[in-house]
Amino acid sequence: MVTKHEVLGVDHISDIWVIDWWSGQKETDVWIDSQLDLMKAHQPFYWFGESGAIKRAISPFLNRRMQEREVYGRVEWIISVTLPP
């Protein structure tokens, strides 16, 4: 499974821009640190993640790494929806 992180911005005329991006098929510790690198660099208002099994699996580690690295941000967990073909 490939993990993707995107940092998006909105300009004064409501155009959405991709500011930064990370993608990889890596272990959890690697992509969480990549997420925190992006959060530290860009200080987003929110970070969105998939709720359910993903949230339950990574929340404790993510929270611990935020404290260890002193990188904090609001994480909103959203429901994954699979649309029919």
Alpha-carbon gap, residue 8 to 52, rounded angstroms: 24
- pTM of the predicted structure, to 2 decimals: 0.85
Q: What is the pLDDT of residue 84?
A: 83
Cα–Cα distance measured from residue 12 to residue 15, given in angstroms and rounded to the nearest whole number:
7
Are the C-beta atoms of residues 59 and 40 closer than 8 Å to each other?
no
3-state secondary structure string across the chain: CCEEEEEEEECCCCCEEEEEEEEECCCHHHHHHHHHHHHHHHCCCCEEEECCHHHHHHHHHHHHHHHHHCCCCCEEEECCCCCCC
pLDDT category at 59 given cuts 50, 70, 90 is very high
Domain boundaries, the chain: 3-78
